[in-house]
């Protein structure tokens, strides 16, 4: 059986695409991924998604979106898209290296994963003081002491943003020089709330009663271990778009983010569309991802209509 459209990935982009595609009677098949719901499944309170004045838990928001898509007929398959063949239509999608599916069109919404330090205590405390998104979680650290780990523009932006809420922000970097642009460095250095701990390597996120209490680091010059007390640790060392499975069949930038054509979600391959963080290195918000999911489904609907019309004209 050839599907009209397969959506690869969930989260706000994939679920929204599924809602719109299902309401357009495209009967979408959604490949959920190994972590259905994406990064919001690791988030506790979401307070900046419109329509929830009291906030909503990330997993609850994702569950509601999935149920809404199912209500209109979207179908879900658990598993990771490990390979795709875009050389001819119908496209072929291999899930978890075993099952294969075919589709006239694809929506790629596999997201981008925040790079982590991969040190003890980090993974266990995500959502309990460890975060990868200041815009998402900064409000919860009002009048608290936080650390930002990183040395690029993103880390400077995160640290500057966090000064709106935190009483003290410390930038922690493993080198004695920063990778950030001079403009971003100067902006951060002029902020009286920001302090610096340079040339140290994080080795452990320390907790008390399952909440972050500090970050243990090693001085790169002396090897000495020291504890930096903090209520929160924001890891800002970059993101990795989840596009490796595409094996270069779709045009991406140097980092791996999918490039879409101007004012659309269309990719370099006709019939393949991208939405959410897999094509967005700038905003990376739930609401912006949902918006592009809507656009992708509408683009697919119009593309399929045009294709079917062209085929019918050719047959006549």
pLDDT tens column, 143-156: 999 999 999 988 99
The pLDDT value recorded for residue 313 is 64
Q: Quickly state the pLDDT bin for 48 (edges 50, 70, 90).
A: confident
Active site residues: 133, 136-137
Residue located via tokens 């075919």 = 102
Among residues 125, 129, 130, 190, which one has the least CA distance to residue 156? 190
Tokens of 15: 């679920």
From residue 304, alpha-carbon distances to 24, 101, 196, 260, 310 in Å are 11, 18, 54, 18, 10
Asked if the model's pLDDT at residue 221 lies above 70, the reply is yes
The pLDDT value recorded for residue 98 is 86
DSSP string, 175-197: SSS--S-HHHHHHHHT-TTEEEE
Among residues 27, 33, 1, which one has the least CA distance to residue 297? 27
The pLDDT value recorded for residue 238 is 86
Q: Is 171 helix (H, G, I), strand (E, B) or coil?
A: strand
Q: Hey, how many other C-beta atoms are within 10 angstroms of the C-beta on 115?
A: 14
Express as a percent the part of the chain with pLDDT over 90.
Answer: 80
Domain range list for the chain: 2-113+239-315, 123-235
Asked if the model's pLDDT at residue 316 lies above 60, the reply is no
CATH number of the 123-235 domain:
3.50.50.60
pTM of the prediction?
Answer: 0.78
Is residue 29 within a helix (H) or strand (E), and if so which, with residue range? strand 29-31
pLDDT tens column, 223-251: 999 999 999 999 999 889 999 999 999 99
Q: Which CATH architecture has domain 2-113+239-315?
A: 3-Layer(bba) Sandwich (3.50)
CA atoms of 172 and 123, how far apart (whole Å) = 18
pLDDT tens column, 25-45: 999 999 998 778 887 876 667
């Amino acid at each position: 059986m050839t599907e009209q459209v397969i959506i690869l990935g969930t989260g706000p982009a994939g679920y929204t695409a599924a809602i719109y595609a299902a309401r357009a009677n495209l009967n979408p098949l959604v490949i959920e991924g190994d972590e259905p719901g994406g990064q919001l499944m690791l988030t506790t309170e979401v307070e900046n998604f419109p329509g929830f004045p009291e906030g909503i838990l990330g997993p609850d928001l994702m569950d509601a979106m999935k149920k809404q898509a199912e209500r209109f007929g979207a179908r879900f398959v658990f598993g990771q898209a490990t390979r795709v063949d875009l050389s001819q239509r119908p496209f072929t999608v291999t899930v978890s290296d075993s099952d294969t599916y075919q589709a006239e069109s694809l929506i790629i919404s596999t997201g981008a994963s925040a790079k982590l330090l991969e040190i003890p205590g980090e993974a266990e405390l995500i959502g309990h003081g460890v975060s990868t998104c200041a815009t998402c979680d900064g409000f919860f650290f009002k009048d608290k002491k936080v650390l930002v780990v990183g040395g690029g523009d993103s880390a400077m932006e995160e640290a500057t943003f966090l000064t709106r809420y935190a009483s003290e922000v410390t930038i922690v970097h493993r080198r004695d020089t920063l990778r950030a642009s001079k403009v971003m460095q100067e902006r951060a250095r002029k902020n009286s709330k920001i302090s610096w701990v340079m040339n140290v390597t994080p080795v452990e996120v320390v907790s008390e009663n399952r909440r972050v209490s500090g970050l243990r680091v090693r001085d790169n010059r002396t090897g000495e271990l020291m504890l930096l007390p903090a209520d929160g640790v924001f890891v800002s060392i970059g993101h990795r778009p989840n596009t490796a499975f595409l094996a270069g069949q779709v045009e991406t930038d140097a980092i791996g983010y999918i490039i879409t054509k101007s004012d659309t979600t269309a990719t370099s391959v006709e019939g393949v569309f991208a939405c959410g963080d897999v094509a967005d290195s700038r905003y990376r918000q739930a609401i912006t991802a949902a918006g592009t999911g809507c656009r992708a489904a509408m683009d697919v609907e119009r593309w399929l209509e045009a294709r079917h019309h062209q085929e019918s004209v050719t047959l006549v």
